[in-house]
Chain A
């Protein structure tokens, strides 16, 4: 089975800190995605990547950046964490561009205090 592993299940950070959320997939998928999930808003796409060193903005990229130095790893970076970035963060990967082939990680619940 494809596995998408997010490094932390729960994370607490202080306002202004630089935060790294790590995601690793083990099935050689080209595409990787970062979403955040908030009550009443569903999942919203932050950034995605279709190849190594390539990145594209999603619907809500402000306050975030990403890094994809290796095919299997996609990192989400909060340059200066703020309380409105408290959320559940979900990473996904997919083979090719097919929407039915997404595999998600279990999520990282980030609290910024």
Chain B
């Protein structure tokens, strides 16, 4: 499985944009980039995924580098409820989800 590298932790202030980076230099052509997040005392939840083009949904945006070796999850206006561990995961459509240790995002009022 292709590996991802994420910072252990990041901080943000409320209502500011947050850019969560993910490096995946060994990504293959069939790997999708998935983001899940885990709020305190809950199981992970799906955030967004993409293959080559940038993606937007109600929760976040995903910016994918042209060479696909890195991506960035963008939270446009962080709220206290966005404090969570964010996981960047590579897998093909037929793969199981394999989680790394993610980035712990702290949001300050």
Contact = CB atoms under 8 A, between A and B. Distances in A.
Interface of A: 4, 33, 35, 40-45, 48, 58-59, 90-92, 97-107
A105 B92 CA distance: 23
B34 A58 contact: no
B101 A98 contact: no
Interface of B: 32, 34, 36, 41-46, 49, 87, 89, 91-102
A107 B43 contact: yes
**Closest A-B pairs by Cβ, 4 of them:** A104-B43, A43-B99, A100-B49, A42-B101
B32 A100 contact: yes
A92 B32 CA distance: 20
B93 A90 contact: no
Contacts of A100: 32, 34, 46, 49
A107 B101 contact: no
A49 to B, nearest CB: 11
Given A99-B89, A100-B49, A42 B96 contact: no
Nearest to A44: B99
Of A33, A102, A103, the most chain B CB neighbours within 10 A belong to A102
Contact of A97 (B36, B44, B93, B98): B93
A4 B97 CA distance: 17
Contacts of B42: 104, 106-107
B43 A90 contact: yes
Contacts of A92: 43-44, 97
Nearest to A6: B43
Given A42-B101, A92-B43, A99-B32, 13 more contacts: A35-B99, A40-B101, A42-B87, A42-B100, A44-B99, A45-B97, A92-B44, A99-B96, A102-B36, A103-B46, A104-B42, A104-B43, A106-B41
A102 B102 contact: no
B47 to A, nearest CB: 9
Contact of A99 (B34, B41, B100, B101): B34
B93 A105 contact: no
Contacts of A48: 96
